[in-house]
Amino acid sequence: MLPKLALLSNVNLDSLKFRLRKECELFLPAGYGTWLQELLYEKSDFYKFVPELCFIILHKEKASTNEIKLATGKLPGCHFFISDLNENIGDFIHDFPLSQIILKHGQNSVYSPKMWYLASNPFSAFGEKLIAEKIMQFIRPAIIPSKKCLVLDLDNTLWGGVIGEDGINGIKLDNHGQNARFYDFQKELLEIHKKGILLAVASKNNLEDIEPVFAHNSMLLKKEYFVSIIANWQPKSESIRQIAKTLNIGVDSLVFVDDNPLEREEVRLNCPEVVVADFPEDTSLLPELAIDLYEKYFYSWNLTEEDLNKTQMYAENEKREESKKTFTCLDDFIKDLNIQLEIKKVDNLTIARASQMLEKTNQFNLTTKRYTETEVVQMANDSQILMLIGSVKDKFGDNGFSILCIAKLKSETEAEIDSFLMSCRIMGRKIEFDFLRETEKILANTGVKTIYASYIPSAKNNPCKNFYADAGYKNDTIVNEYWMNIND
C-alpha cells in the first residue's frame, strides 16, 4: 500500500505531482491558493483524504507566520513538513529543508524567474527534481523498511593507509589538512550513530593491530560506538553474516562500506541481500557519502528514545548473553535477570514507538500487519480496540518499549488479536508469555471470554510460529488459527 501524501502550497506545484504520483497516493487541491482553507475547513477534501504526511511548501512573501499558526491549530494526526518557517509550532511539525537544498545547489539552479512569471511556480525543473527527491527521502521508510546497521571497513576507509604496515604513526588521520577527509567522514558517521543507527566493523586485520587506533587523537569513532568489531582474515561476507547473527537482525538490514572493489564484489556475490555502497574514487567525497547513505537507507523523521539508545541496548544485550553462558538452565538465567515488565495502553507519548514497531518488526511478529502512524492514532482512540505496549527492564539495563499487542473486540464477549509483536532484542526471555497473560487479564476485565488469534507466515517470522500453541491456545481444524477460553 502506497503512503498517503498531501501537498499544500501557496504557489503552483501541479508539475511536481507528476514526479511523485508513482511513489505515493497524492492529494493536491485544485487551486494553489487554497492551502489555508483546506486546513481550516474540517469537511474539506484534505480531511476526507486523511493523509499520513503533509508537505506545506510556501513562498515566504505570500504567507505569514500568523496564518500558519492559525492553520496548524487545526492539524489532524499526520506529520507536517513546512518550509520557510523558523519556529516549531507543534508535535507533528517538522522543518522541510528547502533552505538546505538552495544552499547546496544554488538559488539560480533551484529557482526559475521564467516559471514564476509564466505559471506562478518559483522552481526550475531541476529544483522540482531536488524537492521531489527530498520528499521521497521522507516517505521512503513507509515503502521500504529502513536499514539498521552500517558495516565499515577500516584501512583506507576510516583512515588512510594500512595499520598493519604503516603503524599508528603512519596512518593518515587528522582534523586538518588533506587527511581531515577521514576525520570529517568519521564526524558524519558519528552523527549517524547519534541518530540511532548501529555501527559495526568488518576488517581484514589483526585485532591487536587495530586496538591502538581507537585511542588516536583524531579517531572520533571510539570502540564503544561499535556494536560489533570483527577483525580477522575470513571473507567479508562471513564477517557480515556473523554481525547480523550477533545482533539478531536480518542480513538485509545491513549496509556495507569498503574501499576495496574486490571486497565489495565478494560481498555482493555472497551476501546479495546487503546494500554495498559505491566507494568514491576521490576520498574527499567520503563525508558526502556518509550523508547520502543516511538519507537513502537510514533516514527517520521521527526518532524515538529507543532509537537514540540503541547502541547502549545492544551493548547491554551482549552482557546478558555472556551471563547466559554461566547458567545451565534457561529458567534460572531468566530469574536472575530480574525482569520488570510494565504494560500500558498506547497513548500520545508512545504512538510514535508503536507505529515504528509495526512498520519494522519482522522476526517475532505473528501477523506482520503494517499500520501507518495515522492508523495507529485512530486505533488508539477506538473504544473497540485495545492497544497495549510494554517496556522491559532487567538488571543489565532498559530495553524500552519493545513489545506490542493490538486486540479488537468482535462482540461483548469475544476479541481477536490482530497484531502481536516483539523486538528481536528481547527474544529468548519468555517475556511474550507474560505479556500475553496480562493482555488476557485486561480483556477478561472488560467482559471478554474468548480470544481468537492467528499466525500468518512470512519470510522472516518463523521464530514465532509455535507461540500460540506454546501459550496453550487451541487449534481445531484451520491451520494457524487459534482460540482460547480465558475463563477456563
CATH number where 189 lies:
3.40.50.1000
Beta carbons of 231 and 125 less than 8 angstroms apart: no
Lowest mean pLDDT among 142-146, 318-322, 441-445: 142-146
SS3 content of the chain, % helix, strand, coil (to 5): 45, 20, 35
Range 325-353 average pLDDT: 93
Q: Are 327 and 233 part of one and the same domain? A: no
More confident residue, 76 or 349: 349
pLDDT digits (tens, 9 = 90+) for 376-392: 888 999 999 999 999 99
Instruction: pLDDT band for 144, please (50, 70, 90 cuts).
Output: confident
Beta carbons of 98 and 85 less than 8 angstroms apart: no
Q: Which SS3 state, helix, strand or coil, does residue 302 take?
A: coil
User: Which pLDDT score is estimated for 15?
Assistant: 87
Q: Is the pLDDT of residue 412 over 80?
A: yes
Q: Is the pLDDT of residue 75 over 60?
A: no
Spatial distance between the Cα atoms of 472 and 445, rounded to a whole number of angstroms: 20
User: Which pLDDT score is estimated for 383?
Assistant: 93
User: Which pLDDT score is estimated for 31?
Assistant: 75
User: Which pLDDT score is estimated for 79?
Assistant: 60
Pairing of strands 254-257, 149-152: parallel
Q: Are 309 and 272 part of one and the same domain? A: no
Adjacent-strand bridge partners of 200: 151, 228
Instruction: pLDDT band for 91, please (50, 70, 90 cuts).
Output: very low
Give which of 222, 262, 270 is closest to 244, Cα–Cα. Answer: 270
Q: Is 472 left (phi over 0), alpha (psi -120 to 50) or beta?
A: left
Range 462-471 average pLDDT: 95
Single residue among 121, 143, 165 that ends a domain in this structure: 143
All residues at 6 or more sequence positions from 191 whose CB lies less than 8 Å from its CB, including other chains: 290, 294
Beta carbons of 389 and 404 less than 8 angstroms apart: yes
Name the domain count of the chain.
Answer: 3
pLDDT digits (tens, 9 = 90+) for 184-225: 999 999 999 999 899 999 999 999 999 999 999 999 999 999
User: Which pLDDT score is estimated for 85?
Assistant: 42
Spatial distance between the Cα atoms of 112 and 109, rounded to a whole number of angstroms: 8
Q: Are 277 and 337 part of one and the same domain? A: no
Give Cα separations from 115 to 17, 67, 202 (angstroms).
Answer: 16, 26, 50
Give Cα separations from 11 to 33, 70, 285 (angstroms).
Answer: 7, 19, 35
Q: Are 194 and 153 part of one and the same domain? A: yes
Q: Are 237 and 311 part of one and the same domain? A: no
Single residue among 266, 298, 330 that ends a domain in this structure: 298
Q: How many CA atoms lie within 13 A of 126 on its CB side?
A: 11
Query: Between helices 125-143 and 98-105, what is the axis angle to 10°?
Result: 130
Beta carbons of 9 and 35 less than 8 angstroms apart: yes
Q: Is the pLDDT of residue 76 over 70?
A: no
Q: Are 422 and 360 part of one and the same domain? A: yes
**191 alpha-carbon distance from chain centroid:** 15
All residues at 6 or more sequence positions from 413 whose CB lies less than 8 Å from its CB, including other chains: 447, 448, 449, 450
Instruction: pLDDT band for 65, please (50, 70, 90 cuts).
Output: low
Beta carbons of 320 and 337 less than 8 angstroms apart: yes
Q: What is the mean pLDDT of the chain?
A: 88
Task: Give me the numbers of helices (H) and strands (E) for the chain, helices first please.
Answer: 21, 17
Range 358-363 average pLDDT: 88
Q: Is the pLDDT of residue 84 over 80?
A: no
More confident residue, 409 or 39: 409
All residues at 6 or more sequence positions from 453 whose CB lies less than 8 Å from its CB, including other chains: 366, 416, 417, 420, 468, 473, 481, 482, 483, 484
Q: Are 209 and 235 part of one and the same domain? A: yes
User: Which pLDDT score is estimated for 90?
Assistant: 41
Q: Are 165 and 266 part of one and the same domain? A: yes
Q: Are 153 and 251 part of one and the same domain? A: yes
Q: Is the pLDDT of residue 88 over 50?
A: no
Range 34-56 average pLDDT: 83
Q: Is the pLDDT of residue 413 over 70?
A: yes
Percent of the chain beyond pLDDT 70?
A: 92
Spatial distance between the Cα atoms of 173 and 196, rounded to a whole number of angstroms: 25
Spatial distance between the Cα atoms of 230 and 236, rounded to a whole number of angstroms: 9
Q: Are 337 and 287 part of one and the same domain? A: no
Beta carbons of 181 and 286 less than 8 angstroms apart: yes
CA gyration radius, the chain: 25
Q: Are 229 and 326 part of one and the same domain? A: no
Q: Are 184 and 282 part of one and the same domain? A: yes
In terms of residue numbers, what domain contains 334? 305-485
More confident residue, 444 or 63: 444
Q: Is the pLDDT of residue 123 over 80?
A: yes
Cα torsion angle, 230, 236, 238, 240, sign: positive
Spatial distance between the Cα atoms of 295 and 134, rounded to a whole number of angstroms: 9
Single residue among 95, 115, 143 that ends a domain in this structure: 143
| 308: amino acid identity, one letter | L
Query: Residue 403 corresponds to which cell in the numbers above?
Result: 513489545
| 173: amino acid identity, one letter | L
Looking at residue 200, the DSSP 8-state letter turns out to be: E
